[in-house]
Amino acid sequence: MEEPTLPAGFLFGTATAAYQVEGGVREGGRGPSIWDTYCRTPGRVARGETGDVACDHYHRYGEDVALLADLGVDLYRFSVAWPRVQPTGKGRPNPEGLAFYDRLVDTVLAAGIEPVLTLYHWDLPQALEDVGGWRVRDTAHRFAEYSRVVADRLGDRVGRWITLNEPFCTSFVGHAVGRHAPGTREGTPALAAAHHLLLAHGMATGELRAADAGEVGITLNPDHLLPATDSEADRAAVERARTLHNRVWFDPLFTGAYPDNEDEVWGELADGSYRVEGDLEIIGRPLDFLGINYYRPLVVRDAPHREPDPARRTAVDIRTEQVPFAGVRHTTMGWPVVPDTFTDLLVDLDRRYPDLPPILITENGSAEDDRPDESGRVHDTDRIAYLRDHLNALSRAIDAGVDVRGYFVWSLLDNFEWAFGYDRRFGLVRVDYELLERHPKDSYHWYRDFLASHRARRVDELADRG
Ligand code: IFM
């Protein structure tokens, strides 16, 4: 299989997120987050696992940055834990929390790597959840305040800022499906949460601009949706799913309007009471880049009848159902591996939204059944194939005219995979969770060699042209 070729100047990185790697949840004055609470609720997370220790990145970040330096990446994407900076989600910042991110950023920069900072990767301070969380408008104001605190502290050294990671998961998986914190099943409040997240993003963008912090973007996880059959009903189901998964975010952010089929999709759930005149202007503030996370396509069919089992029912029912993607390999997440759909998604978004800013692929990767050999090495050939095939698919999207500037592997380290706990491993580096040792897998060595040879190839081409 051919090694991917991306344009000269294309940036490569890896990504992590605070709750998934840091641990140290009771250290340095950090307050509790909704994920601490969720993990402690029996039956929520596999085997009752928590992020209490995770990869112990809070103490071992130096070792992790050394791994990044050896890997040869241009960028490192990490997230700041809001409850470390503001333990109750508002008010005076916690100096120890800010000092931790100071040290992390300085260490990353000293390794010659550019830090890319995500402000919110799902760890809302529990104190804010207790007064309504994302269901209430005030949380958007609190997020803007928190963003300004972080920007004032790190804006002199961090040049790229991501406001939110995958607000779809926060609002719908968290408030309608209940599989993420806060773990509720609510209809209208889930839609209100989606709106307040967008508003929070827009307000934070304003604060980051005012602090002159650098480039600003948001990370979305749009789905590439395919109908189960060519029937009219299944194609209509795809359009409803497109609104829930993609248009809710893309339309207000990049067209200045809410999706025009909302009434049909949400029915009476959307009472609009949470929208205030002027919100769309705030939400639609221009961005410097768009982060896209992509892993797998989704096949859906029309499902006019509600899920009979109330325990499995989502509170935002759009009368669709997921169908397995037959005939392809699946990762240990149960996700089908279909790299061409990565090209298709990017081209499709580019055509639907002509005003998108340049794109960074802020996550892509695969969870595999990694089994270390006697010497502790993980020969993760499936992960290498996944990454190579997706980078080739990305390169085809760029050839088709999509403006993509960078790519991050999810993830640098095996880490806490939310409700699945620790047995879904996405890392380029294996983490021994007992000893907290790091062991680079074959995919780490592949990515390192690929980055070095890609750079050398591009330099040679430029020299030839010169
Ligand atoms: O681990 C998550 C990450 O936190 C958000 N995007 C998807 C990843 C894999 O599920």
Q: Give the mean model confidence (pLDDT) for residues 249-253.
A: 98
To test ligand 1's pocket by mutation, which of 45, 219, 293 has the most ligand atoms within 8 angstroms of CB?
293
Report yes or no: 443 and 383 within 8 Å, Cβ to Cβ: yes
pLDDT tens digit string along 78-133? 999 999 999 999 999 999 999 999 999 999 999 999 999 999 999 999 999 999 99
pLDDT exceeds cutoff 90 at 466? no
Q: Is the CB of 417 under 6 A from ligand 1?
A: yes
264 is catalytic: no
**Which pTM value belongs to this model?**
0.98
Ligand 1 atom at minimum distance from 410 CA: 8
pLDDT tens digit string along 146-175? 999 999 999 999 999 999 999 999 999 999
Ligand 1 atom at minimum distance from 415 CA: 1
Spatial distance between the Cα atoms of 173 and 449, rounded to a whole number of angstroms: 37
CA of 425 to the centre of ligand 1 (A): 11
CA of 447 to the centre of ligand 1 (A): 20
| φ, ψ (nearest 5 deg) of residue 425 | -105, 120
Three-state secondary structure call for residue 192: helix
CA of 453 to the centre of ligand 1 (A): 28
In the chain, the percentage of residues whose pLDDT exceeds 90 is 94
Report yes or no: 136 and 189 within 8 Å, Cβ to Cβ: no
pLDDT exceeds cutoff 90 at 312? no
Q: Is the CB of 35 under 6 A from ligand 1?
A: no
**How far is the CA of 462 from the CAs of 7, 448, 458, 465, in angstroms?**
11, 21, 6, 5
Write down the catalytic residue from 114, 129, 363, 368. 363
Ligand 1 atom at minimum distance from 122 CA: 4
pLDDT exceeds cutoff 90 at 465? no
207 is catalytic: no
In the chain, the percentage of residues whose pLDDT exceeds 70 is 100
CA of 330 to the centre of ligand 1 (A): 16
To test ligand 1's pocket by mutation, which of 14, 16, 78, 166 has the most ligand atoms within 8 angstroms of CB?
166
CA of 315 to the centre of ligand 1 (A): 22
To test ligand 1's pocket by mutation, which of 118, 363, 414 has the most ligand atoms within 8 angstroms of CB?
363
* Residue 460 confidence (pLDDT): 80
Mean per-residue pLDDT of the chain: 97
Ordered by where they begin, the domains of the chain are 11-465 (3.20.20.80)
At 4, which amino acid appears?
Answer: P
Spatial distance between the Cα atoms of 5 and 253, rounded to a whole number of angstroms: 31
Look at 268 and 110; give whichever has higher pLDDT.
Answer: 110
pLDDT exceeds cutoff 90 at 271? no
Ligand 1 atom at minimum distance from 20 CA: 4
pLDDT tens digit string along 360-414? 999 999 999 999 999 989 999 999 999 999 999 999 999 999 999 999 999 999 9
Ligand 1 atom at minimum distance from 121 CA: 4
- Altogether, the residues listed in the chain come to a count of 466
Tokens linked to 297: 């396509």
Q: Is the CB of 162 under 6 A from ligand 1?
A: no
pLDDT tens digit string along 24-36? 999 999 999 999 9
* Residue 320 confidence (pLDDT): 95
Helices (H), 2-94: 18-21, 34-40, 57-71, 82-85
* Residue 459 confidence (pLDDT): 77
- What is the 8-class DSSP label of residue 175? I
Segment (H or E) for 20 = helix 18-21
